[in-house]
Structure 1
Amino acid sequence: MSSSKTSSLPQKPPNHSSINSTPTNAMSLEITQKWFALYVKARHEKVVDRALHRVGFDSFLPLYVLRHVYAHCSKEHQIPLFPGYVFCRFDPLKRTPILSTPGVISIVSVARKPVPVDDVEIFSLQSAIKAQLPLERCGFVETGQRVRIIHGALSGIEGIVLEVRNSVRLVLSITLLQRSVQLEIDASWIAPCEAPSVSLSIAS
């Protein structure tokens, strides 16, 4: 009776390059891409935001609801919180497509060098909008005692208190633009904080 032998040839090690390439590329994009403020033509904020999304850029246009009351009815309109500006996340060394977008005038810069917006400030603003909290524009605020929100959809975000009563107004600031927006929050939802924070303030 003849017995068959199974050949023990050395096996080629698996190729992990295709597995590792995606995380590496994603990590590289995370490092090189930053949030920037784009200065756009008047009343072109929504046009620019749609155009950037259409070609695959991560853009952000914060809006608030403004109600107009007429003789027999009322209408709600979504208005940019920061008129004349749209935020976009990209590699500053590859900004030509951004500047070529119809409606874009320039990237907010200092000494002709684009200046990124603080990621935490963008995240705070996105969180407030995602939570569908009512927002309105206000004067720029950047002083006071630091606190942390400990309850609700904005839990973990840090801010600055000017005055606390039964309720307070949470002011989210974009330092680069010297602009702020405010929303109301329960005073029991905040706690003292010793860690440094972004310019995110609370007013009475």
Structure 2
Amino acid sequence: MAWYAVYTKSRTEKKVALRLKEAGIEAYCPVNKREKQWSDRRKVTEEPLFRSYVFVNIDLDKQSATVRRTLGVVNFVYWLQKPAVIQDDEILAIQQFLSEHAAVEVFGNTLQVGDFITIDAGALKGQKAEVMGIKNRHEVRLRIDSLGFELVARVE
């Protein structure tokens, strides 16, 4: 048994988690409680912390087909051509953090000028590069010292 990240259709995270639980699968959709103000009332809502992601604790060989067949599930999140395994202590840390704090926001890792990266796709796969500049958050200038190149790369 291990935790895996599952990618869901947009805005179906809580429904997918409920469907997975109904199918007998341990699912966790971290939610953030937010107070919303309408013109006539205030209401506390629960919004998924990670948009389009739900975590499942399964035996991959026995239960992956059930997870994939669940309405709203797109696929597992992959890392190095295998479903990405999430450590138990990371799930526990998320649960504990959410129980202690309100109005939590999630920010993805961002590149900064001066960071060193390893190119993971394309003709220069495996080469180390230094981030020299960033344009529009999706275009990065890289310097590869070992080859004597400076190039522009598109990043997701």
TM-score bracket relative to the smaller structure: 0.5 to 0.7
Query: 1:99 and 2:68 equivalent?
Result: yes
Query: 1:117 and 2:86 equivalent?
Result: yes
Structure 2 counterparts to residues 27-176 of structure 1, below 5 A: 33-94=1-62, 95-129=64-98, 131=99, 133-140=101-108
**In 2, Cα distance between equivalents of 1:39 and 1:138:** 16
Task: Provide TM-score, normalisation by structure 2.
Answer: 0.64
**In 2, Cα distance between equivalents of 1:58 and 1:135:** 25
More strand by share: 2
Structure 1 stretches of at least 4 aligned residues deviating more than 3 Å after TM superposition: none
Question: CA contact under 8 A between 2:16 and 2:72: conserved in structure 1?
Answer: yes
Letter in 2 for 1:48: V
Letter in 2 for 1:119: D
Aligned residues: percent identity? 28
Question: CA contact under 8 A between 2:50 and 2:106: conserved in structure 1?
Answer: no
Task: Provide TM-score, normalisation by structure 1.
Answer: 0.49
The alignment's C-alpha RMSD in Å is 1.8
**In 2, Cα distance between equivalents of 1:51 and 1:75:** 25
Higher normalized contact order (CA 8 Å, seq sep 6+, divided by chain length): 2
Letter in 2 for 1:74: R
Q: Select the structure of larger CA radius of gyration.
A: 1
**In 1, Cα distance between equivalents of 2:107 and 2:12:** 23
Count of residues in correspondence between the two structures? 109
Structure 1 residue runs of 5 or longer lacking an equivalent are: 1-32, 143-204
